[in-house]
Amino acid sequence: MGTFISHSSVGLGTWSGGLGGRIVMKRTSVPFAIGMLFVALNSQAVQAVCTCAADVNNSGILEFVDLVITYDCARAGLCAGCTAANGCDVNCDGTVDFVDVGAIWWQFVHNPGDPCNQPRGACTPTNPGNAPPCVVTYEEVCTGQLFVGTYYGNGSTCQNGQPQPSVPTVSEWGLIAMTLLGLVAGATLLLRLRRSTLPQ
């Protein structure tokens, strides 16, 4: 009988064997294995790219009803109208919320830029009447005609229905610390200069 040889990229080796069932493992080089892993991860990353599709009812066009459907899904879990591949999770983060509403509005009014990656923060809407007391969305969506609300700054959040100010990141804290050190150093230098000019 002939010899059957097969190569597999699974694991860190290839295998070959005769039709009799004998399998011989052959180690491949570590760089080859790393390269294969990189290719696999890269292909998964390409597949995972979010298209930010706002046509949540899969009608073929973006309409105001897509916004209403996503709003109802985020507000009350009424998601039956979300028939697109990602449902009403427009920004593909695994949750339907008012950031998804913002992403749809961004496209509906033809704003430039990535509709799924805009700064967001806490908002207290006054419109419509059944809106939650605090939602996280885009500033334009909050203060514009959709929610007619108050925006509390990028990075702010909602806790127990109340807006919470944003907490500085590590880099922002570092910038604050450097600024304070600079002020202290400047004040110290100024004080020394004044002392040196005083009559002895």
CA atoms of 188 and 168, how far apart (whole Å) = 27
Mean pLDDT of 24-53: 56
What pLDDT shows up at residue 62?
97
Residue that wins the pLDDT comparison between 179 and 197: 179
Q: Are 107 and 100 in contact (CB under 8 A)?
A: no
pLDDT digits (tens, 9 = 90+) for 135-177: 999 999 999 999 999 999 999 999 999 999 987 655 555 666 6
Task: Provide the residue ranges of all domains of the chain, joining segments of one domain with +.
Answer: 13-47, 64-164, 170-200
Strand order in the sheet with 120-124: 135-138, 120-124, 150-154
What pLDDT shows up at residue 83?
97
pLDDT digits (tens, 9 = 90+) for 93-109: 999 999 999 999 999 99
The four Cα atoms 82, 55, 73, 83 give a dihedral, to 10 degrees, of: 0
CA distances from 43 to 16, 37, 40, 57, 102 (A): 27, 10, 5, 28, 29
What pLDDT shows up at residue 170?
58
CA atoms of 121 and 98, how far apart (whole Å) = 10
Q: Residue 48's pLDDT band (boundaries 50, 70, 90)?
A: low
Q: CB under 8 Å to 12, separation ≥6 — which residues?
A: 27, 28, 30, 33
Does residue 42 surpass a pLDDT of 80? no
What pLDDT shows up at residue 9?
43
Does residue 196 surpass a pLDDT of 50? yes
- Angle at the Cα of 123 from the Cα atoms of 129 and 54, rounded to 5 degrees: 80
pTM of the model: 0.63
Q: CB under 8 Å to 117, separation ≥6 — which residues?
A: 91
How many C-beta atoms surround the C-beta of residue 139 within 10 A?
18
